[in-house]
Each structure stands twice: as C-alpha cells, then as structure tokens.
Amino acid sequence: MDFGLSLEQQMLAESVTRLMRELCPLDHVRQVAEGGSAVSAQSQAALAELGLPGLVVPEVHGGLGLGLLDAAVVATALGEAVAPVPFCARHVMAPLALIAAGSEAQQAQWLPRIAAGEVRFGVGVHEQVSRRDGSGVRCTGGALTGTALFVLDCAEADHLMIADQTGRLHIVSAQADGLELTVLKTIDATRSVGELRLASTQAEALADDGGAAVRRVIAAGRILLAADSLGAADAMIAQAVAYAGQREQFGRVIGSFQAVKHMCAEMAAKNEPCRSLVWYAAHAFDAVPAEAELVACHAKSHTGEVGRFVARTATEVHGGMGFTDLLGLHYWFKRIGFDRQVLGGPEAVREEAAILQGWTARAA
Amino acid sequence: MDLSYGPDYETFREEVRGFIAANRHLAPKNAGRAARPSKEGVAWQKLLIQHGYTARTIPREYGGFGAEPDILKSRIIAEEFARAGVPGGLANQGISMLVPTLLELGTEEQKRRWIAPTLAGDVVWCQGYSEPGSGSDLASLKTSARVEGDEFVVNGQKIWTSTAKEADMIFCLVRTEGDAAKHQGISYLIFPMNTPGIEVRPLRTMTGHAEFNETFFTDVRVPVDQIVGQRGQGWFVANATLGHERGMLGDPDALENRLLALIELMKVEQVGGARVIDLPALRDRLVALQAEVAAMNYNGMRILSNQIKGEPGGMAKLIVKLQACELAHQISALAIDALGELGILYNGSAHERANGSWQWNYMFQLGLIIGGGTAQIQKNIISERGLNMPREPRLDLPKGPSAQGGQ
C-alpha cells in the first residue's frame, strides 16, 4: 500500500520543473504569449528530448510506455510553469485515442511517428462534451463535413484527431482538401485552440466502438487539465505567500495580518486535497478503468472550483499589483480559467457524473 | 501508487470479517452517543480488546492487546467494522486523549491504575480544559490550585465538559504557579468527579439538548500526587492530547457514511412526485460534495501512506480538521435543503425524518467547526506551520520553540 508518487514519478516531475525554470521563466512566457504563437520552441525541444511525445506510447512502438499518472505529474509541472507547450492533447489524448481504437496496422503506422515527434496532432472532441454555435462533424462515405470547435493543441499541428457526431474518431491531415483551421484567441496565450472547418474532407477512421474510445480520451484530457490547474494553483499560492512575506504596510509585512494569512490558509486547505484526487483519478485511469470516467469528472469539476477560488484569492493577496500586468500573475489566472471550461465546466461535468451513476437520465 | 494491501493483510481482513460474522450478535444495539457504555457495551469492548480489534497497540500490562503498531491493520479493522455496520471499539475522551497522554507522560503507577479500566469502559473521563474566559487562548485559564499540605485546592470553572455528568474522573488543567508566565504556570491534574466541591450544570446548546456541561470547583481537594507531568508543565502535557483530539474530529469514514446517507435520502424523498435527486440544482450540489468527499478520502490515504513510511503528514494533515468539519456541515446543510420544509421538522414532529438528526447534525457540526481549535485557529496553524507565514505579534508569549501553540 502506497498512495503517492513513485521515485521515478517524482524525478520526472522534477526534471520538467527544472527544465522549465531554466528555459521557460516568466519573461520567456511573456515573450511567447505576446508573439501569439502559444509555443515556446526551446521548451518544446527540451521536453521532446525528455521523451514527452512518446510518454504514453507503448515501448513496442518506440515510446516510454508510461501511464496517465506519469502524464499527470508532467501536466502539473507544466501548469506550475504556465509553460506554452502543447501537451495534454498532442502527447497524451492523441496516442491514447490510437491505443483505444486504432487497428494494429494504424497503431504501427502512427504511434512510432508520434513518439518520434514526426507527427503533431491536435485533438477535436469538444462536440462530445458541448456543442456550441452549430458545431458538429458528420461522417459520410469516409469523408468529414462540419465544424469542430476548441480543437486542442492545434498550434503547428500537421494532423488532427477528430470525433464525429457518433463519437467515432478520425485522423485527418492538416493539408487535406476542404480543411480550414483557424486559431481561436482565448484569454490563455499559453495554449492553442482552433476552429476546424471540414467540407467532404478525406479522413482515416478508427474503430467504430460506440464512443468508448472518445469517452476514454475525454476522461484522460479532463484528468490532465485538472492536473494542470492544480500545478497552476500551487504556483499562485506560492507566489501569494512569498509576496505577503515581503510587502509591508502599516509597518508590518502583510503576511503577518490574519486577514491575509487566512486567505492563504484557505487556498492551501482547498487545494491540497485536489492533489490526492488528481493522483487517484490518474491512477484509476490505468488501474481501475471502471471508475475512471466518474473520478475524472470529480477531479475536473473540483479542481475547476478550487482553481477559480485560488486564482482570485491569490490575485487579491497581491493587492493592486496583482491586477497589473507587471507581475504576470494573470498568466496563471488565465491558465486556470482555461482549464476550468475546456472539456466541460464544473456544472456540465457534474451532470455527467450524475448520469454515470444512474442518478438521472441523459438529457436528449 | 499501489493501493493493494497484499496477501498478508487480506488474510488479516478475512480474520476480522470472520470475527464480526461470528460475534456480531453480541454487539450493543444502540451504542449511539451514550457517554457511559451499557453492560453489553462494556462486554463488547472487552471482547474486542481480547481479539486486538481495539486498544490494539497498548501494552498488555496496561490492559491493551499489545500488538506492534501496524497502521494498515488498524485501518482494515476500522474499514471492516464500518462496512459491517457493527460498532467498533469505544472512542471516548478517556481513551482518545487521556490514555495516550498517560502512556507518554504518566508515572508507572498512573498507567497501571487508570489505563486498563479506562480502555475497558469501566472508568469514564471528562476533559476540563476550556473556561468561559479561555477558549482559543486556552493558556490564559484561571481555575486555580493552591497547595495546602499534601493537597491541591482547586477553585474555578470549566466549560464544554461533555460527559461530566456521567464521568467518574476528570483530567483538568489548573493554574498552580500564579507567578509564572502563563504557559508555564499550568498543571495537569486527574481527580474523581465525586470529590466534594464539584458541581456540574448541563449546558444547553442551540440543538435544544445539553451535549455539554459547565463544571464548577469550590475548594476541591486533590492529593498532590494526582498530577500528570511536573507542576507547571501542564500546558505541554495537554498539547500532547490536543493532537489526538484533532485526529478524532477528522475521520474520513464518517464523511463517507454521511454522504451515503444523503444520497439515499435524495433518492427516496419525493417532492411533487419527483425524486429530489431529479432536481438539477440539488443534484449538482450533491455531486460537488461527492467530489469533495472523494478528495478528502484520497487525502486520508495519502496521510496513511506517509505514516507507514514514517514521513510527516505535512499540509495534507494540517488541513483535515478544517476541511472535514466544514464538509460534514455542508452535507447536513444539503440534506436539510433536500427535505425543504420537511427539513425544519424537529423534536419528534409528525413528518419528521430520521428523528430530526439532519438538523441536529447541522447544528452540532457547527459546534465542531468551532470546538477543538476553531476554524480561525486552524487557519493560523495552516498558515504558520504549513506555509511558514509570520505569527501575529503576540505580547504574551515567552520566546522559545516549546512555548508555541494555543487553543
């Protein structure tokens, strides 16, 4: 019995954290964000050296063959650094889609290239969670038509993993005819999401499994967004505590006032159980698959709520400075805001959790 | 991450299950919140000790089972008794607070005299700590004990003495060194509740019941050897037990059980022909609480793992009292909202549900948020010990690491 991270997982997290401290300090994040690319090339290259593109790809296909808990500790480290690098969708959700619903031939064709960083996927599954502005993709005769909104990690993507309205997953080339990918501008300049328009675009379908694979991919994405939000919240709490220890008013550091200390204590008290929840959800994804979808919902919704509280409270601890662009605290604030909504906000995800437990019928 | 207990522990689990199946007919039926266990309760407690299912690691010479500490076995015992719905060992203030204190700081004679009958449920204790003027600032307590010959003479008043009416004995903080700095002038006395000069008055709370008492001392004479630790060291003796109390108030199994009862309530109760759980606003709150209870459960497993490895509990542990008490309160609050107007029925009214226990819990749990170190004191502890934030300037605290703490 050991509820916690293995030594290897702790080392993996430390490696990512160390790399990001070196290659991706706030000044660099700001540079990338203001450049509008959402990708730090130097961070991406260093993380590829570490093997992140093949993190969850089985060893037989040239990857590291690690599990979702390993991916989650990486996501937490990236969230802590507000690192502008594609990760959740490109390096985890896309290969997991192939592992779940790819034929042997498809796995042999795609997984080694994913692990080697030769193909870069974006992932569009949002219509399975929430359809907005008429989005939705139909598949007819092996070709896709329609719109996918909030395609994740779309920056520099050369391929896209897209769910049609039945939940079946398809691979399309970013160069295919009838395909148009537009970047959406969000609050979070460290992530890339896009709008994908498809008009009779040729696609390579994965297995028609009644939506099982896409549900698993969404569960993985939710757990990783929760892990990312956790890391971002950790960073905001640490910054609030540090700032409160330096800033003086009324002849004292403000961190000695109970009003300020209690704000920090509340953040820590709400955030710390999220760590165990995220770890368990990631562990369950591989070890207790029957529980994975439900606990992924819990992790996503609860870190979403706690993240919002921490983002707002940590900003308030910084007073007026927190509201400025000077400290850059808003990068974490916005990252947490992104993590909360993408792949389902707390209310939507809680409703899914209720449906999964048979507490209510699925709405038509 | 390895959540299996392994074959040895699963064998142990089977033994526990076997014991419960064979003996559950002997368990007391309405253990409830009674301060003094019934005859069946005492017999059950003795049977549990004999088999090592409570008082497990307390040495045999003091009336325990004498096993090596094994956190997982203790955990399995707790899990199996909870799962079977059979009462486990007694968990009163004598067992949870006084016994660990005596084991750590008592004299050999005190251990031999008091631990065994306390564990067996034959001797019931109450705690004399808080005073009307000394709550969070417990060390400012004023109940005095002056020495006359070979006796302390105790005068003053304690409050929140739950079980004082039923108790045989009290463990009590008193000021013996009037001239010393406030943390250094306190002693930890133990004496019988039938000593002349003790008056117990029930303290009615907002629940309408008297779960607590006020206890008054007028020239209560206590032999000078009925002290735990040295004169003037009572503060440090008491702090050893406060840690035990905080652990007691944050039990994740208790949260899980309250949540399951709430889910059941919302599935069964109907309003306008629809199940309450079918109402989206209430269902949303239920799932939100379920996620929080899950988070606290896994947080508890993390603390357990740290204990097994001999690592400090860290932030995961510091937050338990604050979060668990708040969560328990919110579970009761949702149950009352799920019942709506039925939720206000109380005191045996027609249409009342579960004997009004949701309302009672809602109110009593607010008491638990305040008691045992208020939520605000918990936040001080989290920020100072967990986040290393500076203390409020304090005028009354002598310097030095041993003088910290406070209620």
| pLDDT value of position B405 | 43
Residue B245 known to be catalytic: yes
pLDDT in tens, A32-69: 999 989 999 999 999 999 999 999 999 999 999 999 99
Model confidence band, residue B392 (pLDDT cutoffs 50, 70, 90): confident
Total residue length of chain A: 364
| pLDDT value of position B243 | 60
Interface contact A255-B390, CB threshold 8 A: yes
| pLDDT value of position B245 | 53
Contact between B95 and B116 (Cβ < 8 Å): no
Q: What whole-number distance in Å separates Cα of residue B107 and Cα of residue B269?
A: 56
When CB atoms are compared, the residue of A6, A262, A275 closest to B379 is A262
| pLDDT value of position B248 | 47
How many other CB atoms are there within 10 angstroms of residue B262's CB atom? Answer: 22
Interface contact B304-A3, CB threshold 8 A: yes
When CB atoms are compared, the residue of A266, A277, A354 closest to B298 is A277
Q: What whole-number distance in Å separates Cα of residue B284 and Cα of residue B278?
A: 10
Contact between A161 and A121 (Cβ < 8 Å): yes
Asked if the C-beta of B346 comes within 8 angstroms of chain A's C-beta atoms, the answer is no
What's the whole-number mean pLDDT along residues B300-324? 92
| pLDDT value of position B249 | 46
The answer, yes or no, to whether residue A364 has pLDDT greater than 50, is: no
As for the ipTM of the complex, it is 0.96
Helices (H), B217-279: 234-249, 252-268
Whether residue A82 sits in one domain with residue A16: yes
Q: What are phi and psi of A192, to 5 degrees?
A: -120, 130
Considering the four listed CATH numbers 3.20.20.80, 2.40.110.10, 1.25.40.10, 2.40.10.220, the one that applies to the domain covering B125-235 is 2.40.110.10
Note down the domain range covering A312: 212-356
The answer, yes or no, to whether residue A135 has pLDDT greater than 70, is: yes
Contact between A38 and B40 (Cβ < 8 Å): no
Residue B112: partners with Cβ closer than 8 Å, 6 or more residues away: B61, B62
What's the whole-number mean pLDDT along residues A307-325? 97
Residue A105: partners with Cβ closer than 8 Å, 6 or more residues away: none
Structural domain count, chain A: 3
Percent of chain B scored above 70 by pLDDT? 93
Mutate to test the interface with B, among A5, A256, A276 (most CBs of B within 10 A): A276
When CB atoms are compared, the residue of B1, B278, B290 closest to A4 is B1
Model confidence band, residue B403 (pLDDT cutoffs 50, 70, 90): very low
pLDDT in tens, B98-129: 999 999 999 999 999 999 999 999 999 999 99
What's the whole-number mean pLDDT along residues B292-315? 92
Residue B155: partners with Cβ closer than 8 Å, 6 or more residues away: B143, B144, B145, B217, B218, B219, B220
pLDDT in tens, B150-166: 999 999 999 999 999 99
pLDDT in tens, A153-194: 999 999 999 999 999 999 999 999 999 999 999 999 999 999
pLDDT in tens, A257-277: 999 999 999 999 999 999 999
A13 within some domain: yes
Contacts of A280 in chain B (CB under 8 A): 294, 298, 301
Angstroms from B24 CA to nearest CA on chain A: 29
Among B100, B148, B119, B144, CA closest to B44:
B119
Q: For the ranges A139-148, A324-333, B367-376, which has the lowest average pLDDT?
A: B367-376
> What would the two tokens of residue B388 be?
């290393």
Map out the domains of chain B as residue ranges.
Answer: 7-90, 125-235, 250-372
Strand partners, B172: B128, B189
Q: What is the pTM of this model?
A: 0.94
Angstroms from B340 CA to nearest CA on chain A: 20
Whether residue A262 sits in one domain with residue A135: no
A362 within some domain: no
The CATH number of whichever domain residue A98 belongs to comes to: 1.10.540.10
Q: What whole-number distance in Å separates Cα of residue A281 and Cα of residue A223?
A: 7
Angstroms from B214 CA to nearest CA on chain A: 31
Residue of B nearest to A9 (CA): B1
Residue of A nearest to B284 (CA): A350
Whether residue A189 sits in one domain with residue A317: no
Whether residue A269 sits in one domain with residue A170: no
Contact between A236 and A311 (Cβ < 8 Å): yes
Whether residue A75 sits in one domain with residue A185: no
Instruction: Dihedral sign for Cα A249, A254, A258, A262, please.
Output: positive
Whether residue A352 sits in one domain with residue A234: yes
Interface contact A277-B291, CB threshold 8 A: yes
For the residues of A280-291, what is the DSSP string, one character each? Answer: HHHHHHHH-HHH
The answer, yes or no, to whether residue B400 has pLDDT greater than 80, is: no
Question: What letter would DSSP give residue B131?
Answer: B
pLDDT in tens, B220-270: 999 999 999 999 999 999 987 666 554 444 465 789 889 999 999 999 999
Contact between B235 and B129 (Cβ < 8 Å): no
From the candidates B211, B245, B256, B384, give the one annotated as an active-site residue: B245
The CATH number of whichever domain residue A231 belongs to comes to: 1.20.140.10
Percent of chain B scored above 90 by pLDDT? 80
The answer, yes or no, to whether residue A339 has pLDDT greater than 60, is: yes
> What would the two tokens of residue B404 be?
């910290």
Whether residue A253 sits in one domain with residue A189: no
The helix or strand, by DSSP H or E, that contains position B127, with its residue range, turns out to be strand B125-128
Whether residue A220 sits in one domain with residue A292: yes
Percent of chain A scored above 70 by pLDDT? 99
For the residues of B161-203, what is the DSSP string, one character each? Answer: -TTTTT-SEEEEEEE--TTS-GGGSEEEEEEETTSTTEEEEEE
What's the whole-number mean pLDDT along residues B291-320? 93
What's the whole-number mean pLDDT along residues B350-355? 96
| pLDDT value of position B308 | 86
Amino acid occupying residue A187: I
Contact between B338 and B265 (Cβ < 8 Å): yes
The answer, yes or no, to whether residue B362 has pLDDT greater than 90, is: yes
Interface contact B387-A268, CB threshold 8 A: yes
Amino acid occupying residue A141: G
Whether residue A109 sits in one domain with residue A125: no
Whether residue A177 sits in one domain with residue A300: no
- The arrangement of secondary structure in B250-372, i.e. its CATH architecture, is Up-down Bundle (1.20)
A331 within some domain: yes
A363 within some domain: no
Contacts of B295 in chain A (CB under 8 A): 273-274, 276-277, 298, 302
Q: What whole-number distance in Å separates Cα of residue A227 and Cα of residue A335?
A: 12
Task: State the count of interchain CB pairs (< 8 A) between A and B.
Answer: 165
Contact between B340 and B353 (Cβ < 8 Å): no
> What would the two tokens of residue B9 be?
């522990």
What's the whole-number mean pLDDT along residues A79-93? 98
| Residue B154 Cα distances to B103, B192, B224, B395, angstroms | 25, 13, 11, 28
Percent of chain A scored above 90 by pLDDT? 98
| pLDDT value of position B79 | 87
Mean pLDDT of chain A: 97
Whether residue A18 sits in one domain with residue A104: yes
Q: 3-state class of A128 per DSSP?
A: helix
Cα three-residue angle B157-B159-B165, rounded to 5 degrees: 95
Q: For tokens 């459960």, what's the residue?
A: B297
| pLDDT value of position A302 | 98
The CATH number of whichever domain residue A201 belongs to comes to: 2.40.110.10
Interface contact A261-B308, CB threshold 8 A: no
A50 within some domain: yes
Whether residue A139 sits in one domain with residue A104: no
| pLDDT value of position B252 | 59
Mean pLDDT of chain B: 92
